[in-house]
Every structure is written in structure tokens, then in C-alpha cells.
């Protein structure tokens, strides 16, 4: 029997079906649908289910164990009671102050004092981990790392310690290092597959680099003093460079455009490369007798002392003449930059980006931020991961990753932190008399920021009032311009 003939035999049956009642009335179909409905509450959703909103209503997805994250959470009676207790206690979320005693995991009627081992000095630097505000909720990954917890590698002429993705897993875009060169010491000749950005933490030194066209750069850098900020510099991807300290030495914060900085194939040291190249090849390549390279150090020294002091500060032009010419834009002097006084009156910001004033910094946008005592870096979020480094003072920040979760962190000098892309956050200076000074960096050519106050002030007033259960009179008080940093109360 041919397939075409089979089709002809089906035609009468199909015509009869079209004239009959709905197939859903068929007893066998009814029984099948009933079985499926009973199974809805016991089986996990398939990928097909999750793609189709018609096959599994959201309520049934939740019953099966699937919890959609982008919808309003369901509050049980216990959560409602907690929220009501929070309102009754009028706990505004301020930091718990131990007032000379050891911090305890106690806040109001919640918690209980320690009975087991604990570390009071660590607790004092992490008060919001010991007894955080009731607004904290859920499980939020650690967003803070202190360089004091990094291993320090001691070398002849200095030291180095790092913060990489193994220390701070959310920091995918950035790794960092603090490096100290003793008097006249060198950071040896090297290059990276990533870009390098540096802020001078103290002392002074000289950088020398050569770009892809053979143009040379040599420039001198100063650390901060009472009246000026430290200088910054940048080495684009692949640019070979070196750093030398002057007679007082130098300490530098280094930032790299990849959190996995310790992976193989990130940093390439000249002496290491040449030591693993046949002498015959070296002689031919450099046009000299091969025996000249027999004493290349191994392993590479990383940092080493100079046999002769460098030319004095400001005499970088004494570097060898370059027939290809020179470049002059790898250093940025923050001290020469005008302050952007925050409209909110709580401090100032100085911004450096490739789009505006630091062309070679194509992979780094940065802010130098000063928050006066009690001031607040307003609620905001960014289109790129924000990495911070505390230069002086103390701060407090809460990160909001969505999904009804939040976690508050305390920051001290030498601490680093990261706020992943889109996460809402603020930074508050919790000192009554000392400014908070820190750096903000993004892996981007420009500085992009969205602020909560400006957003809400430019929305329909009633929409905001109804959502937040406030009056439109309150909404009208919101500023329509970004405040950046707000004054202390």
C-alpha cells in the first residue's frame, strides 16, 4: 500500500473529526491532562517548560522547586514579623559601636554574645560582619580584600604583594599589587598581555617605556604629600617598560586589566626570556659575541638594586636619544587637575578617562575621591565592575545584588573592594573627623554612573510615591542633578 493511498484513507476520518466536538472532550484526553496536572507539583521543570510560560504557570514553577529571581519574593509570616519588628525598633541601620568593649554579635534583641574563640582586632575592623544592619539579607559573596592578608614576597631591593581573582573571586576585571622599590632599585624590564595602571603611594621614581613604533617615553613620578595627590601612569597592553626608584625609594599601587593575573602568559621578564634562549641565537639577534650573555641571572630577579644612582629627578630627558621620536602621555598628574566639587557638598572627585583627559588610558577610567567626615557617596550603580582601593580614612558600603539580598562591608586603608556590574551600592565616610580618600576604577574608556536620586526625580511623581509609600511632596524634594557626594548629617 503506498503512502499516498494511506493519506486518502485518513481524509474521511479527519472530516468527521472537524465536525465533531472539541478533542478536549475526549475521555482519554481528559485523563491524560489530569495526570499531567497532578505531576505539576512533583516534577522539576524541563528546559522546555522554562522556555514556555503557557505550559507551566509561575505559581506551579515555584511549587516544583523553581524560584524565579526577577519577581517579587513571597513573604511568609515570619518574614513579615521580622519586618514589623524592624520598624518598631526604629533600627535605622547605623553601625553598632562597641564603645571601648569587644564587639559582640548582638544587635538590639537579636544575637547573643560570644562563648567560643574569636578575634577582637579583626572584629573591630569588620563591625558590620559581626552585627550588621537588619537591612542586610541573603547570601552575598565577599567583595573585600585587605592587602594585609596578602603574602609579601621579599626581594633584594624591595617587596611585592598581590590581590588576584584567587583572593577576591568577584574581581574578574582587575588584579592589583603593591610594590616597594628601595633606594635606586629597579623593577626589571618586562611586559604584559594586559594593561597596567599605577598610582604612586609614596616616594618618587622614573618609568621608561617604548611603544610599538619604537617611540620612547621617560618620565618621573611623585607620591602624595599634604598638599597634592599622587601621580598616575599607564602602560598599554604589550608595551615593554621598567621602573626605577630615586634615593628615597618608591611604593606603587599597580592595577591590571585581568583578575587572573597570575595565570601563565601574563607577565614576561626579559632576563627570563633570554636565559631560555640559546646563546648562539642571542649573539646573532643582538649582533654581539654570544659569551656576553653567559651571566644573565636566573631565576629572574624581579626587583634588584642599581649599581649606580639614576639621573636626578626631572632629568629623564637624559635617556638615550631615539631616532623614532618620543611619546609624552603615559603619566597623568592629578595634582594639576581641577577638583569637581560634588553638588551634594560632601567632597570632590577628580576623573581621568581616555575620552576626556588621559588618551592612553583606554582600558581604565578612574576617579580620585575625597569624602568629608560623615559624607556619603550617593546610591548608584555602574555599567562596569567598579574596583576600589582605600588610601586613607574608613568607610562603610552596602552592596545590593538584587533578589532581596544585601551585605554591608567596612573598609580601612589598604583594603580593596569590588562592586560587580549593575550592583547598587554607596560608600559612607563613618569617621566624624577624618576624610575618606580612595580610588575608583572601571575597565572602560569612560566613567558611566546611574544614581538613584536623579532617576527617581525624573520619573512621574505619583509612580514613585505609590511604589515607595511616600507623598509626592517628598518626591519633589529629590534632586534632579547627580549629587555624587552628600554632606554628613
- Tell me the per-residue pLDDT of 130-162, one tens digit each, with 9 for 90 and over: 999 999 999 999 999 999 999 999 999 999 999
CA distance 236 to 360: 7
pLDDT of residue 315: 79
Mean pLDDT of the 26-37 span: 65
Q: How confident is the model at residue 43 (pLDDT cuts 50, 70, 90)?
A: very low
Mean of the per-residue pLDDT values for the chain? 88
Q: How confident is the model at residue 350 (pLDDT cuts 50, 70, 90)?
A: very high
Sorted by where each begins, the domain ranges of the chain are 26-65, 145-332, 339-486
> Does pLDDT of 59 surpass 50?
no
pLDDT of residue 419: 98
Mean pLDDT of the 94-123 span: 94
- Residue (of 351, 313, 359) closest to 211 by Cα position: 359
Domains 145-332 and 339-486 share a fold: yes
pLDDT digit string, tens, across residues 201-219: 999 999 999 999 999 999 9
Are the C-beta atoms of residues 484 and 343 closer than 8 Å to each other?
yes
Please state the pTM of the whole predicted model.
0.84
Q: What angle do CA 146, 152, 155 make, to 5 degrees?
A: 150
pLDDT of residue 480: 98
CA distance 45 to 51: 10
Supply the residues annotated as catalytic: 440
pLDDT of residue 321: 83
pLDDT of residue 72: 55
> Does pLDDT of 54 surpass 80?
no
Q: How confident is the model at residue 60 (pLDDT cuts 50, 70, 90)?
A: very low
**pLDDT > 90: percent of the chain:** 76
Q: How confident is the model at residue 460 (pLDDT cuts 50, 70, 90)?
A: very high
pLDDT of residue 175: 98
> Does pLDDT of 52 surpass 50?
no
Whether CATH 2.60.120.10 fits 145-332: yes
The residue count for the chain:
489
pLDDT digit string, tens, across residues 210-253: 999 999 999 999 999 998 999 999 999 999 999 999 999 999 99
> Does pLDDT of 106 surpass 60?
yes
Mean pLDDT of the 274-303 span: 97
More confident residue, 358 or 16: 358
pLDDT digit string, tens, across residues 158-168: 999 999 999 99
Inter-CA distances, 313 with 51, 184, 208, 250, Å: 65, 12, 13, 13
> Does pLDDT of 46 surpass 60?
no
pLDDT of residue 89: 55
Buried-exposed string 353-377: b where 16+ CB fall within 10 A, e elsewhere: bbeeebebbbbbbbbbbbbbbbbbb
pLDDT of residue 17: 47
Mean pLDDT of the 376-398 span: 98
pLDDT of residue 99: 87
Q: Is 489 exposed, middle or buried (0-12, 13-18, 19+ CB in 10 A)?
A: exposed
Sequence-distant (6+) residues with CB within 8 A of 370 are 347, 348, 349, 435, 436, 437
What superfamily does domain 339-486 belong to in CATH? Jelly Rolls (2.60.120.10)
pLDDT of residue 50: 39
Q: How confident is the model at residue 88 (pLDDT cuts 50, 70, 90)?
A: very low
More confident residue, 325 or 47: 325
> Does pLDDT of 275 surpass 50?
yes
pLDDT of residue 57: 41
pLDDT of residue 373: 98
Amino acid at each position: 500500500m503506498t503512502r499516498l493511498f494511506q493519506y486518502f484513507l485518513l481524509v474521511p476520518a479527519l472530516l468527521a473529526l472537524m465536525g465533531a466536538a472539541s478533542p478536549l472532550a475526549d475521555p482519554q484526553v481528559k485523563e491524560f491532562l489530569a495526570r499531567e496536572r497532578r505531576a505539576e507539583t512533583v516534577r522539576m521543570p524541563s528546559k522546555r517548560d522554562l522556555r514556555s510560560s503557557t505550559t507551566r504557570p509561575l505559581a506551579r514553577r515555584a511549587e516544583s522547586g523553581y524560584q524565579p529571581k526577577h519577581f517579587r519574593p513571597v513573604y511568609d509570616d515570619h518574614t513579615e514579623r521580622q519586618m514589623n519588628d524592624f520598624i518598631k525598633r526604629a533600627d535605622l541601620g547605623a553601625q553598632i559601636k562597641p564603645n571601648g568593649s569587644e564587639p559582640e554579635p548582638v544587635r538590639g534583641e537579636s544575637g547573643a554574645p560570644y562563648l567560643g574563640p574569636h578575634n577582637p582586632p579583626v572584629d573591630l575592623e569588620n563591625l558590620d560582619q559581626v552585627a550588621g544592619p537588619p537591612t542586610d539579607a541573603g547570601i552575598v559573596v565577599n567583595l573585600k580584600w585587605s592587602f594585609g592578608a596578602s603574602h609579601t614576597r621579599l626581594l633584594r631591593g624591595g617587596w611585592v604583594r598581590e590581590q588576584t581573582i584567587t583572593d577576591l573571586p568577584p574581581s574578574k576585571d582587575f588584579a592589583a599589587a603593591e610594590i616597594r622599590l628601595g633606594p635606586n632599585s629597579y623593577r626589571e624590564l618586562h611586559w604584559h598581555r594586559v594593561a597596567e595602571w599605577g598610582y604612586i603611594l609614596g616616594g618618587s621614581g622614573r618609568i621608561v617605556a617604548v611603544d610599538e613604533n619604537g617611540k620612547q617615553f621617560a618620565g618621573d613620578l611623585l607620591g602624595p604629600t599634604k598638599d597634592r595627590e599622587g601621580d598616575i601612569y599607564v602602560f598599554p597592553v604589550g608595551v615593554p617598560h621598567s621602573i626605577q626608584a630615586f634615593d628615597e625609594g618608591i611604593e606603587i599601587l599597580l592595577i591590571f586589566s585581568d583578575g587572573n593575573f597570575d595565570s601563565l602568559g601574563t607577565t614576561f621578564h626579559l632576563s627570563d626570556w633570554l636565559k631560555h634562549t640559546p646563546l648562539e641565537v642571542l649573539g646573532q639577534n643582538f649582533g654581539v659575541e654570544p659569551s656576553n650573555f653567559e651571566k644573565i641571572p636566573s631565576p629572574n630577579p624581579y626587583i634588584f638594586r642599581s649599581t649606580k644612582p639614576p639621573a636626578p629627578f626631572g632629568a629623564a630627558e637624559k635617556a638615550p636619544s631615539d631616532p623614532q621620536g618620543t611619546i609624552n602621555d603615559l603619566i597623568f598628574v592629578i595634582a594639576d587637575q581641577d577638583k569637581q566639587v560634588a553638588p551634594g557638598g560632601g567632597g570632590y572627585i577628580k576623573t581621568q578617562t581616555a575620552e576626556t583627559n588621559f588618551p592612553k588610558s583606554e582600558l581604565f577610567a578612574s576617579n580620585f575621591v575625597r569624602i568629608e567626615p560623615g559624607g556619603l557617596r550617593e546610591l548608584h550603580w555602574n555599567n562596569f565592575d567598579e574596583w576600589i582601593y582605600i588610601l586613607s580614612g574608613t568607610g562603610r558600603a552596602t552592596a545590593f545584588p538584587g533578589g532581596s539580598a544585601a551585605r554591608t562591608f567596612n573598609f580601612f586603608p589598604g583594603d580593596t573592594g569590588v562592586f560587580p556590574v549593575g550592583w547598587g551600592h554607596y560608600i559612607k565616610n563613618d569617621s566624624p573627623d577624618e576624610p575618606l580618600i580612595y580610588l575608583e576604577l572601571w575597565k572602560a574608556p569612560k566613567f558611566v554612573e546611574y544614581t538613584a536620586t536623579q532617576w527617581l526625580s525624573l520619573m512621574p511623581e505619583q509612580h514613585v510615591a505609590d511604589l515607595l509609600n511616600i507623598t509626592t511632596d517628598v518626591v519633589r524634594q529629590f534632586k534632579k542633578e547627580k549629587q555624587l557626594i552628600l554632606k554628613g548629617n
